[in-house]
Structure 1
């Protein structure tokens, strides 16, 4: 199970461990974004700090209908205790956890400041 909290702005937050290029793990809070179907988005300065590997360009349609082109990197995150390699979209926003990273999990959010955020793998108790 993965746990987090609801912050003062009512954003569901999950702490993520992201492996830097030197092999050390870096912890970063990220907002759960159910409207984002990607894996993870990070701002450019954090991608640079982590020295992530560039993979390709990506394209997306935003909520307002506009199209966005962005760089896609590769990172290793520790997800539910297991290191996995995922694509990371560069975005001019706070770090976001997307639906692709949460696939196979049940999301529960207590919607009040300090409330608990839980991701539980489906099929486990």
Structure 2
């Protein structure tokens, strides 16, 4: 079970990244149900963690514009298990998308400091 809270009308949870050859890093992410990918991280964080580069892709944004962005791989701790995920190096704020929470239950109490829970579906 992953716990977080609502801050400024954003559902936020922390995830742990496990960069190769470095200490684990905990990063606060906004849960974005309009993002169909797994994870976005700002390019400076991707560079600092030296995440393995895969390729460049064209990403379609919420405003229907397209941008070129870099695709990287990262290992995260997800519900107590290591999981390799695709990371888009873009934006200023880390985002968790629906591909990461697919097949999980997301519960959000939408008020300041409200509870955010990502748990297995019973």
TM-score of Structure 1 vs Structure 2, range by shorter chain: over 0.9
CA RMSD of aligned residues (A): 1.0
Residues 6-85 of structure 1 mapped to structure 2, 5 A cutoff = 6-7=6-7, 9-85=8-84
Structure 1 residue 93, shift from structure 2 partner: 2.3
Flag as ranges the 4+ runs of structure 1 deviating above 6 A: none
Partner of residue 110, structure 1: 109
Rounded to whole Å, the distance in 2 between the matches of 1:31 and 1:107 is 13
Rounded to whole Å, the distance in 1 between the matches of 2:62 and 2:22 is 36
Check if 1:2 corresponds to 2:2: yes
1:56-84 CA-partner distances (Å, limit 9, x unpaired):
11222212121111000000000010000
Give the TM-score normalised by the residue count of structure 1: 0.93
Rounded to whole Å, the distance in 2 between the matches of 1:71 and 1:111 is 33
Rounded to whole Å, the distance in 1 between the matches of 2:110 and 2:103 is 22
Check if 1:96 corresponds to 2:95: yes
1:16-45 CA-partner distances (Å, limit 9, x unpaired):
100122142100000000000000000011
5+ long unaligned stretches in structure 1: none
Give the TM-score normalised by the residue count of structure 2: 0.96
5+ long unaligned stretches in structure 2: none
